[in-house]
Structure formats: structure tokens, C-alpha cells
């Protein structure tokens, strides 16, 4: 099956000449959850806007479900739902009407039973007759999600959906994402909360300064770039790493009260057994040992730093 979203050699130059996307290629498979990570200004919202047909690419092509988002925008748009980064709601409209109107915009026939289940899923059913202006910020964000789901999109874009929201909404949203995934909905999420990507994504893309640095299966990425560290607390401080231990990747920390050993998680042999023996041989006593796995966050920071260097 061809990818449900195909982005081919897309560039986006804004009026004024700023190049927000450079030669971007991306294929998103049906049913996957892709997290797009990148610092502020990286081009995440621009990329989403071009895929959703809100902003035309300067060059290149984008297809959603095989439909070109420029020449066949009606068909392409029907398939996508977007929860925008900014809240853009009509303040005096009622919640139910807002969501019903959104569905109508996509040419779908009225289906209040479906809208009821969407509103219930988002804990908005009790608020269906409230005006938007009466809602809290978190509730407004829920309405944005309800609107995006009102026409049963096959591809859902969530642009920084949990930036500044309460823990409850974040949890509800993760649960909702899980249900949508079970229905085969493809989800693209931008975030700079890396834990979020780590928790829910199948694949992770990293974008920086308008360029996609990588797109990779999350587990593969963690395995490929993941390193582990073992922290060895010593019974007595050392003034330097003993010469006999030079072959190990050891760093002296805490004024010599501990040594940190870094090793590759992919390696067949971690070197730990021989290191422990050699530590004893060097006359060092061990008080405590802890290990720690590098996280997606460590990897992300490293990638962006390398790209900016
Ligand atoms: N309408 C616009 N006109 C000119 N520049 C823009 C416009 N929208 C975004 N930009 C610029 O493009 C870059 C990428 O923005 P954006 O896609 O919003 O990044 P992100 O969502 O990753 O924070 C930023 O430098 C931003 O200032
Ligand atoms: Mg953005």
C-alpha cells in the first residue's frame, strides 16, 4: 500500500524570502503515529500547514491518500483533520454548533450520534450548550480536537497539542490517540515534550532549521544511538583515572568520588565484567554502582547540537 502521506522535495519560502522548509521528503504509512520533534521555529507548523493544504509549497509535491493537496485539494482535505497550535474559535458560538459546522464544511452529512461520542470522549458533552467564550483554555483545546475529529479524518495532525495544558487533558489525549490508532487513523504529532514522543510514537522525525535530520523507528533510534552509563561510587576518592584503566571510556566525576563508564548498548560485550575486575586490580573499592540509559531527549539534544555546530 502506498504511503498515506507523501511529501516530495518540498520547499517553502515565505513572502520576504525566508526559507522555512528545504528539500523535504517524508512518507507516512497508514496507521502509524509519527512524532515530529524540533525546536521552536524549526518548521513543524509550516510542514503541517502545507500537508493540510493551508499553505502552498513553493516547490515539490504533497499527496494525501494519493490526492495532490494543491490540484486535488478537496479530496485531500477530506482525509485530514488538524488540531492547530493556536486557538481559533468563534467566541459566541455554542460548542455543539461549532463542531457540527466543522463537519458540514467537509461536506459530510449530519451525524449527531457521532458528534456525541466525540464530545463524550473529550469530556465536553456537558458543555455542548455552552458558548466558547465561557470555556477555560483547556476546554477550548478540547473543542479544537473535537472539531478536527468531526468529519472522521483518516490522518490527524496534532500541532503541539499538549503545550501548556493540564495533566488531565494530556492523559485524555493520549488515551484518545490510542483509540484512534486502533481505528487505523494515522497520527502526526508535533511536540517539544520529548517524553510525549517517547510514550506514544511509532516513528520519530527530527526537524531543525527547515530540514528533516532523520526519520526513524523509535525503538531502532533508541537502540542505535542509545548509550548506557554506569556510575561507580568509590570508597575513596581518586585524583585521576588510574593508568591501568585507560582503555575504558571512564570519566572522573564528583571530585574523584565516582567514575562514570559509558558503553554501547548494542555491543555484544559491554566490558563491564572486565572493568569490575580491573577496578579491583587497581586497588579501588566500590561503594555503589548505578546504570542509566540515554533517553530520546539526550539523543534529540545531541542531534540538534550536531546540526547547528
Ligand atoms: N507566515 C509566515 N511568514 C514568514 N515567516 C514565517 C511565517 N510563518 C512561520 N514563519 C517562520 O518560519 C519558521 C518556521 O516556523 P514554524 O513552522 O511555525 O516553526 P515551528 O512550528 O517548528 O515552531 C520560523 O522562523 C517562523 O518565524
Ligand atoms: Mg509550531
The reply to whether 115 and 134 lie within a common domain is yes
Considering the domain architecture, whether residues 163 and 253 belong to the same structural domain is answered as no
Residue 146 lies in a domain: yes
Q: With 80 as the cut, is the pLDDT of residue 308 above it? A: no
Distance 42 CA to ligand 2 centre (A): 8
Examine the fold and report which residue of 223, 249, 269 is the final residue of a domain before the chain moves on. 223
Q: What is the DSSP string of the chain?
A: ---SEEEEEEEEE-TTS-EEEEEEEEEE-TT-EEEEE--TTSSHHHHHHHHTTSS--SEEEEEETTEETTTTHHHHHHHEEEE-SS----TTSBHHHHHHHHHHHTTPPP-HHHHHHHHHHTT-GGGTTSBGGGS-HHHHHHHHHHHHHTT--SEEEEESTTTT--HHHHHHHHHHHHHHHHTT-EEEEEES-HHHHHHH-SEEEEEETTEEEEEEEHHHHHHHH-EEEEEEEESS--SS--GGGTTS-EEEEGGGTEEEEEEESS-S--SHHHHHHHHHHTTPPEEEEEEEEPPHHHHHHHHHHHHH-
Query: What is the C-alpha separation between 3 and 65, in angstroms, rounded?
Result: 8
Ligand closest to Cα of 19 equals: 1
Each residue's pLDDT tens digit, 213-263: 999 998 888 777 767 889 999 999 999 999 999 999 899 999 999 999 988
What ligand has the least distance to the C-alpha of 13? Answer: 1
Does 308 fall in a domain? no
Within 6 A (CB) of ligand 1 lie 14, 16, 18, 20, 38, 40-46
Same domain, 189 and 78: yes
Question: pLDDT tens for residues 272-291?
Answer: 889 999 999 999 999 999 98
- Looking at the fold, whether 93 and 183 belong to one and the same domain comes out as yes
Tell whether 207 and 232 lie within a shared domain.
no
Structure confidence at residue 58 as a pLDDT band (50, 70, 90) = very high
User: Looking at the domain assignment, is residue 306 inside a domain?
Assistant: no
CA 43 to centroid of ligand 1, rounded, Å: 6
* Same-domain check for residues 190 and 252: no
Domain end marker among 205, 223, 241: 223
Residues 247 and 219 in one domain: no
Residue with the bigger pLDDT between 280 and 305: it is 280
Going by alpha carbons, the residue nearest to atom 3 of ligand 1 is 14
Q: Give the model confidence (pLDDT) of 137-169 as tens digits.
A: 889 999 999 999 999 999 999 998 877 778 888
Q: Which CATH number goes with the domain that contains 251?
A: 3.30.70
Whether the pLDDT of residue 270 is over 90: the answer is: no
Domain that holds residue 34: 5-223
Q: Is residue 303 part of a domain?
A: no
Q: Higher confidence at residue 86 or residue 185?
A: 185
The last residue of a domain, from among 198, 223, 248:
223
- Are 231 and 217 part of one and the same domain? no
212 and 256 housed in the same domain:
no
Pocket test for ligand 1, best of 13, 20, 205 (most atoms within 8 A of CB): 20
10 Å Cβ neighbour count for 141?
23
User: Residue 78: inside a domain, yes or no?
Assistant: yes
Confidence of residue 267 (pLDDT cuts 50, 70, 90): low
83 with 95, same domain? yes
Distance, in Å, from the CA atom of 139 to the CA atom of 144, rounded to the nearest integer, reads 9
Instruction: Report if residue 301 sits inside a domain.
Output: no
Instruction: Give nearest CA residue, ligand 1 atom 1.
Output: 14
Residues 163, 64: one domain?
A: yes
In the Cβ-directed half-sphere of 222, how many Cα atoms lie within 13 Å?
15
Is 305 a domain residue? Answer: no
Which CATH number characterizes residue 18's domain? 3.40.50.300
The domain total for the chain is: 2
Q: What is the pLDDT of residues 91-129, one digit of tens each?
A: 999 999 999 999 998 888 999 999 999 999 999 999 999
Q: Domain check: are 34 and 159 in the same one?
A: yes
Amino acid at each position: 500500500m502506498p504511503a498515506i502521506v507523501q511529501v516530495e522535495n518540498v520547499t517553502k519560502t515565505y513572502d520576504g524570502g525566508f526559507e522555512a522548509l528545504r528539500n523535504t521528503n517524508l512518507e507516512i504509512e497508514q496507521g502509524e503515529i509519527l512524532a515530529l520533534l524540533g525546536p521552536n521555529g524549526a518548521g513543524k507548523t509550516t510542514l503541517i500547514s502545507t500537508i493540510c493544504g493551508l499553505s502552498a509549497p513553493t516547490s515539490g509535491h504533497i499527496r494525501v491518500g494519493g490526492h495532490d493537496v494543491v490540484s486535488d485539494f478537496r479530496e485531500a482535505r477530506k482525509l485530514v483533520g488538524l488540531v492547530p497550535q493556536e486557538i481559533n474559535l468563534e467566541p459566541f458560538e455554542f460548542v455543539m454548533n461549532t463542531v457540527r459546522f466543522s463537519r458540514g464544511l467537509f461536506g459530510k452529512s449530519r451525524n449527531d450520534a457521532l458528534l456525541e461520542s466525540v464530545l463524550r470522549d473529550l469530556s465536553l458533552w456537558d458543555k455542548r450548550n455552552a458558548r466558547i467564550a465561557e470555556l477555560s483554555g483547556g476546554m477550548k483545546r478540547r473543542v479544537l480536537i473535537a472539531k478536527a475529529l468531526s468529519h472522521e479524518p483518516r490522518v490527524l495532525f496534532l500541532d503541539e497539542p499538549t503545550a501548556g495544558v493540564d495533566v488531565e487533558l494530556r492523559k485524555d489525549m493520549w488515551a484518545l490517540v490510542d483509540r484512534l490508532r486502533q481505528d487505523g487513523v494515522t497520527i502526526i504529532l508535533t511536540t517539544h515534550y520529548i517524553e510525549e514522543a517517547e510514550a506514544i510514537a511509532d516513528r520519530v522525525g527530527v526537524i531543525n532549521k527547515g530540514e528533516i535530520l532523520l526519520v526513524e523507528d523509535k525503538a531502532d533510534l533508541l537502540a542505535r544511538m542509545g548509550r548506557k552509563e554506569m556510575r561507580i561510587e568509590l570508597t575513596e576518592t581518586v585524583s585521576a583515572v588510574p593508568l591501568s584503566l585507560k582503555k575504558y571510556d571512564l570519566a572522573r566525576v564528583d571530585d574523584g568520588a565516582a567514575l562514570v563508564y559509558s558503553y554501547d548498548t548494542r555491543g555484544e560485550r559491554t566490558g563491564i565484567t572486565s572493568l569490575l575486575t580491573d577496578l579491583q586490580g587497581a586497588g579501588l573499592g566500590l561503594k555503589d554502582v548505578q546504570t542509566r540509559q540515554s533517553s530520546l531527549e539526550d539523543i534529540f539534544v545531541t542531534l540538534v547540537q550536531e546540526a547547528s555546530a
